[in-house]
Structure 1
Amino acid sequence: MSYSQNSNDKILLVDIISDLENRFEYKFTYADDTIEDIYVSKPKRNISIEQILEFLKKETSLKFSKLANNFISINKKNVSFVICGKLEDKRTGLPLESATIQGKKNSSISKEDGSFELEISNPRETILIGHLGYRTIYRLADSFRPNECAPIFMNPKIETLSEVILNDYITKGIDKSADGSLQIDYNNFDILPGLIETDVLQTVQALPGIHSADETVSNINIRGGTHDQNLILWDGIKMYQSGHFFGLISAFNPRLTKKAVLLKNGTNAEYTDGVSGTIIMNTDENVNDDFNMSVGLNMINADAFMDIPIGKKSSLQIAGRKSISDVVESPTYEEYFKRISQDSELTPENENIIFDFYDVGLRWNYNISDNDNLRVNFLAINNELVFTENINTNTIEESRQSSLMQNSFAGGVWYERSWSETFKSVLQVYETDYLLKAVNANFQDGQRFLQENIVSETGAKLKTYYDFNEAITLLNGYQFIETGVSTLNDIDEPPFRIKENRVIRTHSTFSQLYYKSKSTKVNVGVRYNFNEKFDSHIIEPRLSFNQKFLKYFNVEVLGEFKHQNISQLINEQNDFLGIEKRKWILSEEEEIPIIKSKQASLGLYYNRKGLLMSIEGYYKTVEGIKAKGQRFRNEFELEDAIGEYTVIGVDFLINKRFNDINTWMSYSHAQNNYIFTAFSDEEFPNNIDIRHSLAVGASYTINNLKISTGVNWNSGLPTTKPIADNPISGDDINFEKINSSRLDEYLRLDISATYDFKIAKGVLAHTGVSVWNLTNSQNVINKYYRIDQNNALQEENEFPLGLTPNVTFRVSF
């Protein structure tokens, strides 16, 4: 028999085993990777099988065991050993305490002098060394010297991670940072009432000053603003679609979204748009060296997730989600569908209703070197609704099919380069596309009405960080954005077609200075914007200041100027089957002005021994808004006026933890008024003016069981009623003063629970149950009036979700 040999005249173990199976009446059983690429010396031929096995044990450190029926198993020995080291700052030489040292099975934390020890079982496993503010180190275990705790130098990371000043803001996993932002970490998240999925756009609605006037994720109101005034970023890519099920659940897969940031004011100068607020979602930035997978199911959708290591420096995450309504229509689906079909073309007479949504996301991380990192992202989102209307004319049944499709595609490349210990650059290029398309087959008018709204945006951003010293960092950058918007209205009978295309290109430069000391944090920035189309120049200052005093107190000052070139218009009459009534439009000289905002806020915070209190007062004014984007349901519904709104408000939170119990109460008061000089009443309450809102909640955690419940109450939204004693004049409704009345108060009780358990070795399960609106409160969130065919006044009410249960089950490998 011939053997495969290496340069040292050793032989592959697999060839030795084959020879032994031919010479002796034994069969060997093993995993391929156990003996792969192992070379050994050739054993003597005149010795027994027992002596040969003993020889191979010494040569390979493998375990050879005789089994029944002349089988011999080969396994790796459970050999563990300890590695050690001492972590130091490369720049200062000071020891680094509280760093995380992570092996495949065990982890350790560095001590005050920077030293650590870690028990490992495989000399080829990758050891991760991480510390906040320093570049992560990846080393193989066999690179550590035996019995020698040598120094390991960590390079400071040039970044602007803001220091956390308040931990567990409402619940575990939400932290308040010194730059005024709220950081959400889903790797370490607790539970919120009514939620069993880590939905970012639902989570932010639990925070003070954030509401959704119609209980959707596609209409989030940050301090009195409309949803189109929010900048929503997914790994730095701007998204123009935020919801599945036409706004009832987030379009961003919770499996991919690991962290999120909410900015209500004091926004970093690198960000544009979002005159009301900014929501930033990020995928996992780490390269993972273990394969893991999970599959899940709830009463709305099924999903799957995979994290695939590609070598030692790269990993790929893939996640997909799809509705299950084509298989089963659950009670949750039925409640959701009833919600979206209100005030739309959908009626009980519709047949063959087909609704489907899905999303697919991808994130690839590649650590090219210690100084170079690359990330590639892709996201596809799709919602589609198709239904058939039947009508009998002259004993002949006719059918027409209507449809609505909403989808988005986004992709980006992100590259980071550390040129030195003090200088770093980041380059990102992205493309994002959005399509809303509706075909309305109108029996009454004998028409087919086709509508489209398309947004296509290309962006590029280059930014650099220079670290002057440990206290001062300077950010500089350039950003280019080209946004194109197309709208189409096409009627077949009588023939009518109008299509508009608009493009805006903006060039921006920005600078921001970060200063931090033990008790003071200051971020001062400015952004310059040049709009090619309007030949306009806009300068926007930004500020965040935080000062710690009296040990347990912080005071915060935030301010910003912002603008945006794109917004949404609403047509309640006929747009997109009445289901998705909003369409994106670009600014156009005086007809559709650039929206501009100014905001300032002052906050005071106290945090000691599990008691957290905060109070924030703010002032915000936004000008250049279109009346058609505000959803008026009165005589000004079709008015094309331009106006502004001003909000003065205060947000208060108190949060107390008692061991395993967490409780919180938040209260917001705001006065939000429009000014439209073209209207008969120039100043009046905003359509989403919620004067008072209160949220009270509690959660309890014991072992792997989490339970949470909460109550949400707010004063009613403004509404305009007809004049009681003279409601109709001719063909028109006589309305009272604009928004001079209020809807009834809103009240909702939610509850949720989750439980994690182990099914088998390496197989974990997660299950949860929730009930939204447990008391089935019939809250009215919108009221409007129409004149019917008999010239009588007809009142219409819009309701949010009623009692809505949900159940989830997930298995992770």
Structure 2
Amino acid sequence: MNRTKNLILVFTFLFCHIFYAQVGEDKESLAKILETIEQQFECNFSYADNTIAEIFIENPKTFKSLKNALKYLRQHTKLEFTVLDVSNITVSTNYKSNTLCGYLIDIETEEPIIGAVIRVDAEITTTNEEGYFNLERPTENKLLVISHLSYKGVRYQLNSINESSCDPIYLVPKIEQISEIVVRNYLTKGIQKTSKGSYDIDYKKFDILPGLIEPDVLQTLQALPGIQSADESVSNINIRGGANHENLVLWDGMKMYQSGHFFGLISAFNSHLTRNATLIQNGTDADLSEGVSGTILMNTDSELNTKTKTEIGLNLINADVFFDTPIGDQSSLQLSARKSINNLIETPTYKQYFDKAFQNTELLQDSDNVIKSDGEFSFYDVNARWLYEITPYDKIRVNFLLFDNNLFFLENAVVDGEEASKESSASQRNLAGGVSYLREWNEWFSTDLQFYASKYNLESINHDLVNNQRLLQENEVFEEAVKLDTEYKLSDMISLYNGYQYQETGVTNIQDVDDPLYRKEVKQVIRSHGLSSQLGYTSNDFNTTARIGVRFNYLEKFDSFVIEPRISFSHRFLDNFTLQLLGEVKHQTASQIIDFQEDFLGVENRRWILSNNGSFNAEEGEYDIPIMESVQGSAGLFYANKGWLISAEGYYKIVDGITSKSQGFQNQYQYINTTGSYEVFGADFLIRKRLNKFNTWLSYSYGDNQYTFSELEENVFPSNVDIRHAVNLATSYSLKNLDISAGLNWHSGKPTTKPIEGNEIIDDKINYETANMGRLEDYMRVDVSAQYQFKLSKKMKARAGVSVWNLFNQENLTNTYYKIVEDSVTEVQQKSLGLTPNISFRVGF
């Protein structure tokens, strides 16, 4: 099947729903009508299921405005529709009595809120396991105050609360204030665009994406405009043209130095334990440091669980188990574990991932009469989170995680007439643990104190049988940090955020050879202090929000200060338009470099190193590693109405202090060490339409990414990750318990450098053309996925899924480089995943 025919099939499938029509009866359920209004006006109704059960009214199909729709609903249902802000409405009954009671409900999950404190003067009570509270109603019109550690506090005058109606009262989680959401369901359900310019992903609400049967955290981010993976790996994320090591990755506030399994092809973060994720491209809050290109925040659920939940899942790559149980009335424990299944069975999916991960490495290539055999690879991860709510105002959280990748293979050869066999190996591990204490002193002031330690280790042992030599390489990062953040509400509209962070990062690199004896061990340590202050403003009508702050960093080793201003501004106008302006200055002291492409067996050849800021010894082979600094600015305009979303955002970013060793050159600059910068001008566009059960979006990203290295022959030339044009077209369809999604990914080819044709070798070296003036062929991939949810019993739910990555088995090149073999130049190609199916089955009880 040729490419043209494939594209015709895909476009036909993606847009066939435009002609979809549905003829309803004269009366429809209120639940369905509310869903239609949500789609039309980009709003959200919150209610208890029994409030609207069995209510059927005539469906006018369309309304002129949200105000008009609410008026119609009040007239025809006799229910109360309370507008919380511009896009959130609660639905409740309307009874009269002399008792004050109610149910506190999480507005996002609709789960009961336990342990909330309700006060009316001196009378105090708390909500039970169902979120219920009951008080004797005072005769006077007094103030009802509701507070909870994890939710935004609210106050009501008693005359505004229905007597004895016991209606649900919906509280807004502090982790995602509804007033900060600019665009709800940005691509699909669960993805929000906030007033701070970030993207928030709620995995409890998350919908299906093309090619994914489970919500892989890092893969999800790559569906957003401006986010690419130049080598198609999941963990090597390029945020608006930046390198992966320029991203700050935090899991419950702990910094991660490893993010992938299969050496980058699968996210190491278990999405079943991760409650939400946040992507920040620009306008970062002042309390966060480093990550000159972007920030990825992941958080576990912050609420106590009252019922034991267990989930068991299996797909063609790994098996996992998730366990969440209460421990007494004041604490709960979450555990999750995941393990690759190739020790039991090697599925076609596993083989595709294996060949992709280890192509062009020592594992799959025989050389110098050496034969590789019996290769074995495995990975696992373990996560734990314990919550202890000492009082409704004091909460302790303890986190632990462990990621591990292991690779072993035998090398066999005949040396001096005798058979010899040695085992080579590579391992990658990230271990982290942390404790945080959150205290809500009163309705206006709260503090969050955290301590964590994180350790990353990459180690390989490589045996050269022909030369009877063993090479040991090791890269270790150990980091400890303590952080205190405070929030003080000066008024309902203005909040002041202050913080302090102390961080100590140590990096050790080891090279050890047994014949001839040689050992080099380099240790580096950087200690830093950070003070941050930020002012936040939200207007009474929630239409305008702004944050302006500054961070002061002191680096002990260099006795230097780095000052970083931050700003974000969002204004909603004409009901459906939102303007956003973002800016930031950031620095970073840890980066990754590549000495030789074959380091660490070639499977993970990047190693972490700390800045020396010019204090290095060139005679000892040390490199100049400056402190990286970035400046970013962006402006965006968004339109959302009646299921339509149109967004456009332009940006400029410059990152200074990069090294050529960190960029992965495989041309004439592969062995040159110098410093420089890169500059990106870009724009991201998105158009999305929700129509009945269909949801379709088309995104386009443009980025002009240029290096500047003053000491190289070409001072200015395209970046290695200069993907100039990228298009993502996708659609999803939901029908009761069935979800189907398909999508097309296309982007222009990466830059490459070719040898000069007819004069490829000069002085035993490859004679290259001008750096990065060539391009690989365009990349194109079509993915599909589907999942079905059903009940096995009253207490047991199941979900089955199927996906196909690269449906048409398109052969895409992610990289090419050249080497001299027997006095001639040979091209080495690195290919993307071919057609890769996957099947999953998950049971929860």
TM-score under structure 2 length normalisation: 0.81
1:603-752 aligned at under 5 Å gives the runs: 603-752=636-785
Does the CA contact (< 8 Å) of 1:269 and 1:527 recur in 2?
A: yes
How many Å apart are 1:420 and its aligned residue?
1.3
2:146 maps to 154
1:393, distance to aligned residue in structure 2 (A): 2.9
Matches for 1:459-498 after TM superposition, within 5 Å: 459-498=481-520
Unaligned runs of 5+ in 1: 1-96, 120-125
Letter in 1 for 2:313: G
Q: Separation in 1 of the partners of 2:415 and 2:770? A: 45
1:290 aligns with 2:307: yes
Superposition pairs of residues 51-450 of structure 1, within 5 angstroms: 112=82, 128-130=104-106, 136=116, 139-140=127-128, 144-145=133-134, 153-155=145-147, 157=152, 161=176, 163-347=180-364, 349-450=371-472
Relative to structure 1, the CA distance from residue 238 to residue 166 in structure 2 (aligned partners, 3 Å threshold; closer, same or farther) is: same
Deviations 1:133-158, CA, capped at 9 Å, x for gaps? 99955523698559979985313737
**AA matched with 1:594:** I
Contact kept in structure 2, 1:318 and 1:361, CA below 8 Å? yes
* From 596, 613, 629, the counterpart of 1:596: 629
* CA gap 1:173/1:149 in 2 versus in 1, 3 angstroms: farther
Does structure 2 conserve the Cα–Cα contact (< 8 Å) formed by 1:343 and 1:579? no
Q: What letter corresponds to residue 334 of structure 1 in structure 2?
A: K
For 2:182 and 2:133, locate their aligned partners in 1 and report how far apart those are by CA, in whole Å: 37
Rounded Cα–Cα distance in structure 2 between residues aligned with 1:655 and 1:702: 19
CA distance in 2, matches of 1:529, 1:142: 44
**Partner in structure 2 of residue 564 of structure 1:** 588
| Cα distance between partner residues in 2 of 1:683 and 1:367 | 56
What do residues 59-90 of structure 1 show as CA deviations (whole Å, max 9, x unaligned)? Answer: xxxxxxxxxxxxxxxxxxxxxxxxxxxxxxxx
Which one-letter code corresponds to 2:735 in the other structure?
Answer: I
What's the offset of the Cα at 1:650? Answer: 0.4
Partner of 1:760: 793
Pair 336,459 (structure 1): closer, same or farther in 2 beyond 3 Å: same
CA 472–565 in structure 1, closer or farther in 2 if over 3 Å, else same: same
Q: Distance in 2 between matches of 1:699 and 1:446?
A: 57
Give the deviation of 1:111 after TM superposition.
Answer: 5.9
Do the aligned partners of 1:364 and 1:377 also contact (CA within 8 Å) in 2? yes
Secondary structure at the aligned position of 1:315 is classed as: strand
Q: SS of the residue aligned with 2:812?
A: coil
Give the Cα–Cα distance (whole angstroms) in 1 for the partners of residues 304 and 263 of structure 2: 34
For the aligned residue pairs, the C-alpha RMSD in angstroms reads 2.5
Q: CA deviation at 1:365?
A: 1.2
Counterpart-to-counterpart distance in 1, 2:208 and 2:523:
45
Q: In structure 2, how many angstroms separate the alpha carbons of the residues matched to 1:336 and 1:136?
A: 48
CA 1:445 to 1:761, structure 2 compared with 1: closer, same or farther past 3 Å? Answer: same
Letter in 1 for 2:518: F
Report if aligned partners of 1:179, 1:546 keep a CA contact under 8 Å in 2. Answer: yes
After superposition, the C-alpha distances for 1:449-494 in whole angstroms (9 at most, x for unaligned) are: 0000000000111011110111000000100000000000001111
Q: Is the 8 A contact 1:99 1:130 kept in 2?
A: no
- Does 2:539 correspond to 1:539? no
CA distance in 1, matches of 2:472, 2:759: 39
Counterpart Cα distance in 2 of 1:225 and 1:497: 34
Q: CA shift at 1:218, angstroms?
A: 2.5
Q: Does the residue aligned with 2:505 lie in a helix, a strand or coil?
A: strand
Shift of 1:414: 1.1
Q: Give, in whole Å, the separation in 1 of the partners of 2:651 and 2:281.
A: 10
Cα distance in structure 1, aligned partners of 2:310 and 2:271: 14
Residues 100 and 656 of structure 1: is their aligned pair in 2 closer, same or farther, counting only changes over 3 Å?
closer
How many angstroms apart in 1 are the aligned matches of 2:485 and 2:408? 45
Q: By how many angstroms is 1:366 displaced?
A: 1.6
Aligned CA distance change for structure 1 residues 127 and 490 (closer, same or farther; 3 Å): farther
- Deviation track 1:322-366 (CA, whole Å, cap 9, x = no partner) reads 000110000111001101111211126422211111100001112
Which residue in 2 is equivalent to 1:794?
A: 826
Name the residue aligned to 2:605.
581
Give 1:25's aligned residue: none
Distance 1:240 1:146 in 2: 51
CA distance in 1, matches of 2:340, 2:271: 15
Instruction: List per-residue Cα deviations over 1:653-677 (Å, max 9, x = no partner).
Output: 0000111000000001110000001
1:445 Cα deviation (Å)? Answer: 2.9
Shift of 1:198: 1.1
Structure 1 Cα separation of the partners of residues 378 and 104 of structure 2: 42
Q: Aligned equivalents of 1:432 and 1:573: distance in 2?
A: 27
Q: Distance in 1 between matches of 2:468 and 2:579?
A: 64
Q: Which residue of 2 aligns with 1:554?
A: 578
Provide the rounded CA distance (Å) in 2 between the counterparts of 1:697 and 1:523. 34
Give, in whole Å, the separation in 2 of the partners of 1:214 and 1:774.
19
The 8 Å contact of residues 105 and 131 in structure 2, kept in 1 or not, is answered as no
CA distance in 2, matches of 1:295, 1:658: 34
Question: CA deviation digits over 1:264-323, x for unaligned, max 9?
Answer: 000000000100000000101110100010111000100001011112221100000000
Given that residues 129 and 136 in structure 1 are in contact (C-alpha distance below 8 angstroms), is that contact kept between their aligned partners in structure 2? no
Closer/same/farther in 2, CA of residues 375 and 795 from structure 1, 3 Å limit:
same
- Which SS does the other structure have where 2:792 is aligned? strand
In the aligned structure 2, how far is the partner of 1:338 from the partner of 1:263?
33
Quick check: 1:320–1:360 contact (8 Å CA) kept in 2? yes
Change over 3 Å in CA distance of 1:662–1:99 after alignment to 2 = closer
Task: Give SS of 1:275's match.
Answer: coil
**TM-score using structure 1 length:** 0.84
Q: Structure 2: give runs of 5+ residues left out of the alignment.
A: 1-43, 54-78, 84-89, 96-101, 118-125, 154-173, 366-370, 615-623
Q: Deviations over 1:12-68 (max 9, x none)?
A: xxxxxxxxxxxxxxxxxxxxxxxxxxxxxxxxxxxxxxxxxxxxxxxxxxxxxxxxx
> Structure 1 residues 497 and 768 mapped into 2: Cα distance closer, same or farther (>3 Å)?
same
Q: Is the 8 A contact 2:415 2:465 kept in 1?
A: no
Question: Which amino acid in structure 1 is aligned with residue 650 of structure 2?
Answer: G
Q: Is the 8 A contact 1:101 1:127 kept in 2?
A: no
d(CA) in 1 for partners of 2:836 and 2:254? 33
**Hey, what's the Cα distance between the residues in 1 that align with 2:788 and 2:116?**
33
Q: Percent identity?
A: 49
Give the secondary-structure state (helix, strand or coil) at the position aligned to 1:777: coil
8 A contact 1:196–1:752 mirrored in 2 = yes
Partner of 1:520: 544
Alignment: residue pair count: 707
- CA gap 1:460/1:697 in 2 versus in 1, 3 angstroms: same
Deviation at 1:444, TM superposition (A): 3.4
Shift of 1:574: 2.6
Whole-angstrom distance in 2 between the partners of 1:117 and 1:365: 35
Higher relative contact order (CA 8 A, sep 6+): 2
Provide the C-alpha distance between the structure 2 equivalents of 1:127 and 1:450, rounded to a whole number of angstroms: 62
Q: Is the 8 A contact 2:363 2:375 kept in 1?
A: no
Contact 1:673/1:686, CA 8 A, preserved across alignment: yes
